Amino acid sequence: MVHVGIGYDVHQLVAGRKLVLGGVEIPHSKGLDGHSDADALMHAICDAVLGALGEEDIGHFFPNTDLRWKGVPSKIFLEEAARIVALRNGKIINVDATVIAQEPKIYPHIAEMKRCIAAALDVSEKQIGVKATTNELMGFIGREEGIAAMAVASVDF
């Protein structure tokens, strides 16, 4: 039976941090603030996969109060979500995600993001969709104060 989960994540943009989205370091004057590498895209996907399994969110598995996760690449979280799927004899069918950012432009990095996400989940790049949009200059995203991502994942188990 196919199950669907959704995920959403948002992080504040700050000076002095690298900007990592979908496992890809993107040149920008600011990066996302967070306990790990703050990869909002991978975090949203992780929550979507965990949600499809009926599990709790990423914070339950990788709490920001645990120093083991400080600064780690978020691909570790996706690899663990895929491992949990496999433990249930499940199969990730597909993931579709959207990054919402005013700047920088995300499109030039999407192919590499798809490769990184697919590798972390041990699926084909054809099973991964990544899109990008802006917030049309509105709100905290439009003011370039943060970046958000949302994702949906389907898992057969």
Q: What percent of the chain has pLDDT over 90?
A: 99
Class of residue 108 by CB neighbours under 10 A (exposed 0-12, middle 13-18, buried 19+)? exposed
| Average pLDDT value over all residues in the chain | 97
- SS3 percent helix, strand, coil of the chain, rounded to 5, is 35, 30, 35
Domains and CATH numbers, the chain: 2-156 (3.30.1330.50)
pLDDT digits (tens, 9 = 90+) for 76-119: 999 999 999 999 999 999 999 999 999 999 999 999 999 999 99
pTM summary value: 0.97
